[in-house]
Each structure stands twice: as structure tokens, then as C-alpha cells.
Amino acid sequence: MFPIITLIGQKNVGKSTLFNKLTHTHDALISNYPGLTRDRQYGYFQCKQFKSILIDTGSIDKPYHSINTEDIQNYITHQTISAIKEADIILFLMDRQSIATSVNYDIANFLKKLKKPIFMVINKVDDIEYHIHNIMWDYYSFGIKNVIFISAIHGNGINNLLENISLLISKNISSYENNISRTNLNETIHKNYITSSSYNKKNNPTNITLAVVGRPNSGKSTFINYILRKDRMITCNTPGTTRNCIHIPIIYNKQKYTLIDTAGVRKRKKIDNIAEKISISKTLQIIKTAHILLFMGDVDLGISDQDLYLLRFIVNNGNALIIIFNKWDKISLDLRYKTKEALYKKINFINFRKIHFISALHGEGIKTLFQSIKETHLHSCFTKTISTTRLINILHKAISKFPPPLLYGKKIKPKYIHVGKHNPLTLIIHGNHVTKLPNSYKRYLKKYFYRMLNITGVLLNIQFKDAINPFINK
């Protein structure tokens, strides 16, 4: 049974910086832009001799919410209050330069009514000794006796914070361990919420990471929530609601997965704030590392230029791809065939793809989607066993079936092929003048390898390198 510790506070007080510091990860986005965190972020951290669960939350500017409105702050507050209810210990962060505000007093009064242990953590303090001896009394007006000064970015005061938390845990550890409801909550958090890059690699090597990517408001978070059967992610009609990349472990048909909800990606020229730039940068990093990418499009809106931009980036940088068109329930039965044909035509540049039409809101098509995910993963694993001999045989068959065109009367001769790397799968063809092959012939070779290797869903790149003639001086 792990104690649950929740970080709360107003915008830009350093919650995410402290989360990363304590969990030794970079899972929480940090910047000088206020309000970057929105969804809850879970992680493990070692508090002296005790392993604990830490929750990062979005900003809170009032200790209540009205989920019936479309104000994004109400959704964030709802998420934060859910994390407060789960907590055994609350870390109430403040910025030393903006402490005595009415909002902070309102939050403090709300927290005291919960009868939970509270640490008032004053962040961005460089001269801790000065504050302890000269300004400490200023903070007691909040009615919270545990006041600790830190600098999350520099690490000052962190050890003192951990010692105080550890002392509190040691006094209450028996009540944590004997509380069945807390144990069940721990199991739920571990199963459905927590993952981090370091924890995942060390303890869950068999996890298949599924990154859900797409334009803003295509239904990515709704899809995650349906699979989890709970409102884990904030969903509303405001585009760009998700900002951080949230990792969530699940088990589906006895297979371990880590679902990654990502921020929606738009073209750079349409991005007008630093928060979105940071979020998109994180999404593009995830695209390069996830095992399988689930591209989610809005079937009602069709394929836009920004969808094509993202798909081309995925094809060039991703490992495996499944295309999902969401909101299929909105398309009438008599229009579905024409809709599919129009969408297929737009993405015909992606070879041997898997396409699914689903309704994330109602769960239509989710079961068959996961069947494709399993098949794609098997194909991806298979590529790691392909021998050079087999690749050479396939290359020779392709050439004999359809020889390359002549280049100024001379033959272009692809001679040798091997795997350059696996993530993404890259084949390198060597030979005479192979870099001069027409694009049409390069596409032919790519399709031929896809067909002969039977690796539907796996993204394949082929590079061409000319053989060096040793008899010609450079």
C-alpha cells in the first residue's frame, strides 16, 4: 500500500517542476507559460524509505467547479478535486512572490475542512535560511502549521520536504496498510493511471505503447476514457484541451498496453502560443518512440491539410500505424460507402495500412481495432527476425519481375540490401546508380517488399546508396 500525495496550487507555482524532481522523470510539461498542466499526471517516487504515489494537477483558482459549463477551468478544477479526494497527504504549493491572495486563502480553508495532512510548500525560495528566521510568521495566517521552503528547480529544501513527509508516513503507515479501500485505490491507480518512461522500461518491458495522435478535438481523449470506462481525461468541445502526453497502463485481452493521450497537432503557422508549441513538440517526440501510432481523424470533417501534414510526419518517423476515423455514428448508412471512398483516396500514399471506423463515444469498432493492434504488433516483432538473405532474394525477384529503367542507356543495378535500423524499419539498397531510380520504381519496390513480407501496419522506409567505384578518383 503506497501513500498517495497530491500536488495542488495556482498556475505557474512549480507543481510540474516539483513532480519531475521527485519522480526523476520528464513526464510533466514545464514552462514559464501558466496553466500548461490540465489532466492529472501520476507517478511513483521514493520518499526516503517509503515508496509513494505522486499526483500532479492542473491549476486551481477556486475550490469548487461547475462541470455543466464549457469553461475549461471547470474541467481542470474537477480533475484537481478528484486528485485531492484520492490523497493521503496534500502538498499545497505557492509562489513566494504571490502568497497572500484571496484565492490561496480560499483553497487553504477548503483543504482544512477535509481533515487531511497538509504541507504548505513555498516554492522559488533561494535563501531558505533567511525566510525561516525572518518571514516564517507571515505564513501562519493560513492556519497550516507545516510550512516548508524549497526551490524545485534547484533542489534546495527538497531533502527537508522528503524528511517531513517520511516522518508523517511512518506515523500513519499502519492505517494505510490496514485500509482496504485505500489498497483498492492503489491497485486502480497502478493499473489504470501510473506509468513513466523510467518505470515502464524497468518494470514493464512487455508493454505495447499505443500513442493516440491527431488534430485537436478529433476525439482522442474520449477514446481513452471509453477504454478506461471512466473520465480520466478532460473532454470538452474546446479544441486543444489536452496539452501534456498522459501515459496510462491498461490490460486488454490479457495483453499489457500503455495508452498515450497526446496533444492535437496543427500546422506551425497556425500555432499562436508557447503552450501549444511545447505540447506539439512533446507529441512529435512520442511519435518517434511509440510502438504503434493510432492516428485519429474526424470522419465528419474528412482529411484536412493538417491531417496530411501529420500523417506524412508519422510515415517518415513512426514505427507502425493504424488509421482510425472517429465519430462514424454521425454518418448515415446511405453515405458511408461514398465517405469511405473519399477518405481512401486522400490517404492512398500510405501503403498497406489498416483503417478502422469507430465511435469513441459509444465504443463501436473498438474490439476489431484491438485485433488489428495485436496483428500489427506481431508484424512489427516479425521484422526483427528478417534475414539479409531473404531480403536479397525478394529484391532479386522484384528486379526480375520488373527491371529498373535505363539511365542514359546504362543499366541501374540494385545489388544488395540489408536492414539499416528497426525503429522505424529501414532497408538500405546498394548498387550502381540506385539513387537515380525514378520515384515510381522506388514506390514499386516498397509495395513489393510490403507484399512479400506481409507486414501490414508497419511503417517501412527504403534508402538507396550508390556503390563506390574504387577506380575513380574523388
125 is in an annotated binding site: yes
Residue whose C-alpha cell reads 508549441 in the numeric block: 277
Q: Closest Cα partner for 120 from 153, 88, 93?
A: 93
216 is in an annotated binding site: yes
Contacts of 163 (CB under 8 A, 6+ apart): 48
Phi, psi of 86 (to 5 degrees): -75, -20
Using only C-alpha atoms, the chain has a radius of gyration, in whole angstroms, of 27
327 is in an annotated binding site: yes
What is the chain's percent helix, strand, coil content, to nearest 5?
A: 40, 25, 35
Q: Closest Cα partner for 358 from 262, 211, 219, 246?
A: 219
Q: Closest Cα partner for 7 from 51, 53, 48?
A: 53
9 is in an annotated binding site: yes
Is the CB of residue 147 less than 8 Å from the CB of residue 103?
Answer: no
Contacts of 314 (CB under 8 A, 6+ apart): 213, 287, 293, 295, 321, 459
220 is in an annotated binding site: yes
363 is in an annotated binding site: no
Q: How many Cα atoms within 13 Å fall on the side-chain side of residue 272? A: 1
315 is in an annotated binding site: no
11 is in an annotated binding site: yes
14 is in an annotated binding site: yes
243 is in an annotated binding site: no
- Strand runs (DSSP E) across 246-371, as ranges? 246-252, 255-261, 292-298, 321-326, 354-357
217 is in an annotated binding site: yes
88 is in an annotated binding site: no
438 is in an annotated binding site: no
41 is in an annotated binding site: no
Task: Please report, as a single letter, which amino acid is at residue 320.
Answer: A
340 is in an annotated binding site: no
Q: 413: helix, coil or strand?
A: strand
299 is in an annotated binding site: no
262 is in an annotated binding site: yes
CA-to-CA distance for 21 and 19, rounded, in angstroms? 5
219 is in an annotated binding site: yes
Is the CB of residue 116 less than 8 Å from the CB of residue 90?
Answer: yes
179 is in an annotated binding site: no
Which stretches within 248-304 are classed as H helix?
Answer: 274-289
465 is in an annotated binding site: no
Mark the binding-site residues for GTP, compressed into ranges: 9-16, 123-126, 214-221, 261-265, 326-329
Mark the binding-site residues, compressed into ranges: 9-16, 123-126, 214-221, 261-265, 326-329
